Amino acid sequence: MVGPLRPQFVLFGSSIVQLSFSNEGWGATLTDIYPRKADIILRGYYGWNSRRALQVLDQVFPKDAAIQPALVIVYFGGNDSIGPHPSGLGPHVPLAEYVENMRKIAIHLKSLSDSTRLIFLSCPPVNEAVLQASHNPMLSEIVRTNELCQKYSEALIELCKEMGLKVIDLFNAIQKRDDWLTACFTDGVHFSAEGSNIVVEEILKVLREADWVPSLHWKSMPAEFSEGSPYDLVAADGKSTINASEWNHWEGQWE
């Protein structure tokens, strides 16, 4: 435990969350955007589906915690949408069950506190050709198609609209780039820096436009220890100091 306490932004999901600090990922970028303003907390689990998320929901987000997150960004669906294996094993979750699992996750997270905000990310597309060409010999055949991804994406979006929740349509957001197939992935599934930048842009758009009080957009949040000091850098006039609490190295990029 370190202080002062900052608002907590929790990233909760499968490998797209777990790897969000790799390859100039979207989690790392959010951390870069929110220094001195919020703590970005990673709870990502490679290979998980919505069933496994439900199994640990009370452990990751206990209702009796003294501090509850200000924001939870949730992503599950890519593994759920993988085609079923004949053995009955594997991550596939039927669409109707997936929707109900995500509903239960949303209900639990909404109950944490009146001020906990939620953003859901829908299932993004994949590069099917890359996946087919790079099959891992340790694994049984994996059926992962954009047809399935789209069905799970649309189902989550419909659920979030029904529940009045913020949701980002990653399936279509990623495909706005003409070169998305080659530019947005490292392996056909997980995001490259370019793909992650799209995720960040969409998240910031939601945070900027949401009517949440207080606002969770970085420009509206106070910086920690923002008061001026005679120990700050000396200004060009040689008589005063410059408060650097709001300085960043990406000025204008994430407005």
The active-site residue, picked from 135, 187, 220, 240, is 187
C-alpha 80/C-alpha 159 separation (Å) is 16
Q: Is the pLDDT of residue 252 over 80?
A: no
Q: 53-70: buried (b, 16+ CB within 10 Å) or exposed (e) per residue?
A: bbeebeeebeeeeeebbb
pLDDT tens digit string along 134-177?
A: 877 777 777 899 999 999 999 999 999 999 999 999 999 999 99
Tell me the domains of the chain and their CATH numbers: 8-242 (3.40.50.1110)
Convert the pLDDT of each residue in 79-125 to its tens digit: 999 999 999 999 999 999 999 999 999 999 999 999 999 999 999 99
pTM comes to 0.95
Instruction: Please give the Cα distance from 48 to 45 (Å, whole number).
Output: 6
Tokens of 231: 């120990």
Give, for 242, the enclosing helix (H) or strand (E). strand 241-242
Q: Which of 20, 50, 81, 190 is catalytic?
A: 190
Bridge partners of residue 39, in order along the sequence: 8
How far is residue 94's CA from residue 100's CA, in Å, rounded to a whole number?
10
Q: What is the pLDDT of residues 202-241, one digit of tens each?
A: 999 999 999 999 999 999 999 999 999 999 999 999 999 9
Radius of gyration of the chain (CA): 20
Mean pLDDT of 72-77: 98
The candidate with the shortest Cα–Cα distance to 109, out of 30, 13, 218, 25, is 13
The verdict on whether 22 is a catalytic residue reads: no
Known catalytic membership, residue 190: yes
Answer left, alpha or beta for residue 23, where phi above 0 means left and psi between -120 and 50 means alpha: left
